[in-house]
Amino acid sequence: MRYLPMQSDIERVLFDEAAIHKRLEEIAAQITADYRDRELTVIGVLTGSFILMSDLLRRIPLPLKLDCLTVSSYHGKTQTSGEVIFKQPPLPDVLDRDVLIIDDILDTGHTLAAIREKLEQAGPRSMRVAVLLSKKKQRAREVDVDYVGFEIEDEFVVGYGLDFMERYRNLPYIGVLKKELIEPTS
């Protein structure tokens, strides 16, 4: 098969579709057991978690409510700026709800720390966090996460919802992007 440009930008595949789905089965079973007596309110962090949400939530046979919020802290680079912008007021209603935040990846911690802080102010009954990936690194802000798909090295990854400058989100697997594509040219 001829390789398309998107695939040839990937240095190596970290988790293929089968590996991701297998891990999602385990996490979904854990979440289902943990929330069997409660009504879940899931808050998906867009855009990166859209594929994860779709695959994970279909494996959770519980009544749940789904809401999304959009934040951005990047400005087209691979480093988080530290400033997290809430693009979409008003925030989902979480008063007295058992909230599960779903995000694609925990990197510096800025994003999830800011989201946690913001939603805590809205009076949820409980709040947990699920991420597909967590980078092994010293974080700028410590964040408690309750469900983690995979721990990875501190490398820039794309696919399965994760982007580099809004591209590669539709790759069905998670891969490391070739260094020369993300390194600054000057």
Q: Kindly list the residues in this chain that would bind ligand IMP in the complex (CB under 6 A).
A: 48, 73, 80, 103-111, 156-158, 162-163
E-only strand ranges, the chain: 10-15, 40-46, 64-72, 85-86, 98-106, 126-135, 147-152, 157-158, 174-177
**2 or 87, CB closer to Mg ion?**
87
The residue type found at 135 is: K
CB of 48 to ligand IMP, least distance (A): 4
CB closer to ligand IMP out of 16 and 163: 163
Residues sharing a CB contact under 8 Å with residue 173, sequence separation 6 or more, in sequence order: 13, 14, 15, 16, 17, 20, 159, 160
Selection from Mg ion, ligand IMP, none that 157 binds (CB < 5 to 8 A by kind) is: ligand IMP
Query: Minimal distance in Å, beta carbon 26 to ligand IMP?
Result: 22
Name the active-site residue from 9, 55, 107, 144: 107
- β-bridge mates for residue 99, sequence order: 41, 127
Least Å distance, CB 5 to ligand IMP, is: 18
Q: Is 154 an active-site residue?
A: no
The catalytic residue positions are 107
